[in-house]
Structure 1
Amino acid sequence: MYQIKGDDLMQLSYEESVERVKSILSGSKNIVALTGVGVVMECGAKNYLNNEVIYDVEDKYGRSPEEIMSSGYFNARIEKFFRYYKDEYLSDNCKPNETFEALKKLDDAGILSCCITTNTHGLEREVGIKNVIELYGTRMLNRCTGCGKRFPLKFINDAKGVPLCDECLKPIRPGIRLYGELIRNDLMTEAANACAEADALFVLGTNFFDSMVRFAISHYQGDKLVLITKHEHFRDKKADIVIHDEVKNVLPMIIDSINLSRPEPENKSDASLLSGSKADSDVLSTGLSGAEKEDTSV
């Protein structure tokens, strides 16, 4: 655990690092949290870019996960796509843990402006966080390729073979980004604006090689950049405070130890404005270019 400023490295004890994060949380009014693959892995999710997982998939399906989860494969081999998607991609069925409950407390206190994530599990929404920017879409929301009707995840899981729309019988398209697709510009703009306005940026369960994190910190203008992740990475020096531990061991403990008060809306109409984000709208075209590889050691 350490604090880094420029080229100066100052060693801090675990306790000192925790106290500094407490101070940042207590003094912040506009926090943005970036949730990486590490936080959902702590909930039981698979890392689909793990070498062992890749080898297993190639042995079983004759293709890499990246090739199967591409827009081209979906269009050309839709039966094989859904065999993999339902049997493998949707098999983890993870649930929110203490990390997501801790983020919800920040949200309830009115100091978490948004969560930005490339995870597709929808765990932030499941705990009730109001503003979530799901850059890669969500598996929880799916759409007919013909009439545009939306379907929940259960409909995909319950379907035999390729899930078809119950109105027009066209295939249903998963609500996640597929390799080869780009993130929608409006989502990128929303995320960039949120980071630019934040007084603290929390990077959770990932590292600074992650393209989402690189994008976020390029817009962040503050000096309260906190990284909490399990594994060390040479780019950690970009953070102001670093704690190497599982996020679920750190963030809930810190948040439970500080005084968070829930703000009262100035008028009743304000409360009605505190719901939703763009993430449950047209999520079907989201995603970074499939050509970009990321360091998934978190």
Structure 2
Amino acid sequence: MPPAVLDLARPARRVCVLTGAGMSAESGIPTFRDAQVGLWERFDPLELATLSAWASDPGQVWAWYAWRAGLVAGARPHAGHRALARWQRRPGVDLTVATQNVDDLHERAGSDVLAHLHGSLFVLRCSACDRASDASYPVMPEPVARLDPPTCTSCGGPVRPGVVWFGEALPEDDFLSAVDAAQAADLVLVVGTSGIVHPAATLPHLAGARGVPVVEVNPRESAVSEAADEVWRATAATALPALVEALDDEREASR
């Protein structure tokens, strides 16, 4: 572990953690831009995650998201997710999690998530009246090409995934909450994000402009690297448990 990272984390009482696709990838969830497999290998995910794709063929889009939901349901939080949950429960620490991931791995690891910046795969809503829906994805042992989406109990419109599609605005409350948390933090930790998807990518820069130290945890260089005060070239499942364990050891030693 870079000693400077521990030096920044040790006194931090307000910590904002921003996580991206690299965090979920270690749990076996393919990143959004990974090559598709089987039935979906001829499709570009960027073409399926749009309002126009939904308007032209909601059955195809719903089937694709149902397949992805099955992948997420079969994945398990890794040691990095669990370490963040442990850090969040630490007395005297106010740790917030803002994630660009649409999965629920943070929640299943025990973390409270302040903001799902790109929406949530499992929070469904009507595409016509925008009301929340208690519908769910079907169990799909094998992917299918098309699947009729459930209908809204209020207006009868088709129910859609609660994710942010390309061309849609981020959920305003989530984004503003993440901005506030980043700018008010003693430390911003950016984990496994490419830093190229805006406006979420602006968060480290907004924090840095307020003088908040930014630490990047990523095994490879990203667009975040130039904005980071310290860079730790490691994966989330390796770095986060090591950091939290070091903080716990120091706390025990000081008693």
- State TM-score, norm by structure 2: 0.82
Structure 2 unmatched runs, 5+: 141-145
**CA offsets 1:238-283 (integer angstroms, 9 cap, x no match):** 211111111111110120122387xxxxxxxxxxxxxxxxxxxxxx
Of 30, 42, 45, the match for 2:14? 30
Counterpart residue number, 1:117: 99
The answer on 1:69 being equivalent to 2:49 is: yes
How far did residue 33 of structure 1 move? 0.2
How far did residue 158 of structure 1 move? 4.1
The answer on 1:151 being equivalent to 2:151 is: no
Counterpart residue number, 2:85: 104
Counterpart-to-counterpart distance in 1, 2:196 and 2:128: 38
Counterpart-to-counterpart distance in 2, 1:146 and 1:212: 26
For this pair of structures, how many residues does the alignment match?
239
Q: Which aligned runs of 4 or more in structure 1 are off by greater than 6 angstroms?
A: none
Q: For the structure 1 residues 29 and 49, does the alpha-carbon distance in structure 2 shift closer, same or farther, using more than 3 Å as the test?
A: same
How far did residue 20 of structure 1 move? 2.2
Which amino acid in 2 is paired with 1:137?
Answer: G
- State TM-score, norm by structure 1: 0.71
Counterpart-to-counterpart distance in 2, 1:126 and 1:205: 19
Of 201, 225, 246, the match for 2:235? 246
SS in 2 for 1:116: strand
Q: For the structure 1 residues 166 and 194, does the alpha-carbon distance in structure 2 shift closer, same or farther, using more than 3 Å as the test?
A: closer
Considering only aligned residues, what root-mean-square deviation do their CA atoms show, in Å?
A: 2.7
Structure 1 unmatched runs, 5+: 1-14, 262-298
Counterpart-to-counterpart distance in 2, 1:201 and 1:255: 15
How far did residue 112 of structure 1 move? 3.9
Counterpart-to-counterpart distance in 2, 1:120 and 1:38: 13
Of 31, 49, 53, the match for 2:36? 53
Counterpart-to-counterpart distance in 1, 2:200 and 2:128: 35
Q: For the structure 1 residues 214 and 139, does the alpha-carbon distance in structure 2 shift closer, same or farther, using more than 3 Å as the test?
A: closer
Which amino acid in 2 is paired with 1:20?
Answer: A
The question of whether the paired residues in 2 share the 8 Å contact of 1:145 and 1:170 is answered with yes
Which amino acid in 2 is paired with 1:175?
Answer: G
SS in 1 for 2:85: helix
